[in-house]
Amino acid sequence: MKIFCGGAGQEVGRSHFVIEQDGFRVGLDAGIKIIEDRGIEYPILQDNIKFLVLTHAHMDHSGYVPALDKSIPVYMTKPTLLASEHMWIDAIKVARKRNRPPDYTPRDIRRVLRDAEILDYGEWGASYGVRFKMLRAGHLLGASMVYLEMGGKRILYTGDFKYQDTELIRRAEPPPQVDILIIESTYWYQNHPDRRSQIQRIYEVVDRTIDMGGVALFPAFSLGRTQDLISILVDRYKNRVPIYVDGLGKKINLVYRSFRDELIDRGFLKKLDEIDEIDGMKRRSKILDQPGIIISSSGMLEGGPALYYVFNLNKNSSIILTGYQIRGSNGYRLINYNKIKMNDVELRVDLPVYHISISAHGDRGDIMEFIQRSSPEKIVLVHSDSSNIFQEELRTEHGYQVFSPTTGQWLDL
């Protein structure tokens, strides 16, 4: 058996993997990576993929799917399909706004929506003699791990997973025992701080900002993190200050409304009714005159309305980043240097910036427990800037047979 790493090999972004057995190929995810310094980085594709399974709708996993060969069937959960539609449509709008040819057309998106094969959690799919099913990943609404039986091997690809409950989403389900484990290792090197303590830190920053007459700006991923923040912030602040949502997160909220039974927070739909959704530049300028909370795309400040707010907040305001920041992204630059790059020019941001992680990824403890439970013969580490270091630790200290491929590399397993 061979595995090709077409993206997310010793990097975070553009996840894409191909499993090959006797010339037969199955694809997993097809994402893109967007960095201001380098533009868009695409997955490295292979020919003759028989079908592809998409784990979730974040663009670093789904962003290239509509551009794939039209003959490739694509499997996913229904929430992933509905969320992906909004993500893909927005990608076309962003490309046109930046005078860049889109990677696909609205017609391509409609084709995927029409032809997609929907699987519920635990439901078996089968194609060309390969059996596979989606397992709950805990990362966000609809996110899945993919379990495959192929060539006499049991294979599990985690996609992005979270092994603890959050305010909104149930944790990933325990893994089955497998022969080959392809596992995201974003946070292999650290355990996350206690989530409740992190939320309390967020409250402290927001309280202080509001008391000073400022605006608390949360640049947030439209899918997942925006909804997390709504769940966390609305009850505490709805009677004190306005809570605004801007950007693509408004469309994603509609998807979450459609799957209320999947959510832990049973009051989430009522919380959505408490927020104020912003449309248009006129409203953006008006809401900055009084204390408030703004949740706005994008989460790494690589675009979206959040960039406008950063440079138009009053001096008593704060910027709070709560998610992973890829090295080289504006979010990374802001946390480390208080700067943002726009049109190849670095601009200084003279506001307090806080990085308070409420991650939707598993941490070191989760990853180690997951590996132990799945008891794999072979481990493939993906979705990490430093998985090669983790590879050596798992080999020398734990005795696993481990691989940390680079993007573009074939593994012979």
Angle at 187 between CA 137 and CA 381, to 5 degrees: 75
Q: Which amino acid is at 402?
A: V
Q: 3-state DSSP call for residue 195?
A: helix
- Going from the C-alpha of 299 to that of each of 295, 332, 334, the distances in angstroms are 10, 11, 12
Say what the pLDDT of residue 34 is: 85
Sign of the CA dihedral 277, 305, 16, 137? negative
Can you tell me the mean pLDDT for 349-353?
A: 97
Can you tell me the mean pLDDT for 104-131?
A: 96
Percentage with pLDDT > 70 across the chain: 99
Can you tell me the mean pLDDT for 165-179?
A: 97
Say what the pLDDT of residue 37 is: 64
Which residue blocks in 20-77 are alpha helix, DSSP H? 59-62
pLDDT at 231 over 90: yes
Say what the pLDDT of residue 134 is: 98
In the chain the domains, ranked by start, together with CATH numbers, are 2-190+360-412 (3.60.15.10), 195-355 (3.40.50.10890)
Rounded Cα gap, residues 220 and 224, in angstroms? 9
Q: Among 349, 198, 174, 169, which Cα is nearest to 265's?
A: 169
pTM for the structure as a whole:
0.96
- What's the pLDDT band for 343 if we cut at 50, 70, 90? confident
Cβ contacts of 135 within 8 Å, gap of 6 or more: 121, 122, 144, 145, 146, 147, 156, 172, 173, 175
pLDDT at 401 over 80: yes
Q: Among 247, 301, 302, 298, which Cα is nearest to 275's?
A: 247
Q: Among 330, 327, 326, 323, which Cα is nearest to 360's?
A: 323
Cβ contacts of 161 within 8 Å, gap of 6 or more: 137, 138, 139, 143, 145, 172, 184, 361, 362, 366, 370
Q: Among 166, 140, 163, 155, which Cα is nearest to 18's?
A: 155
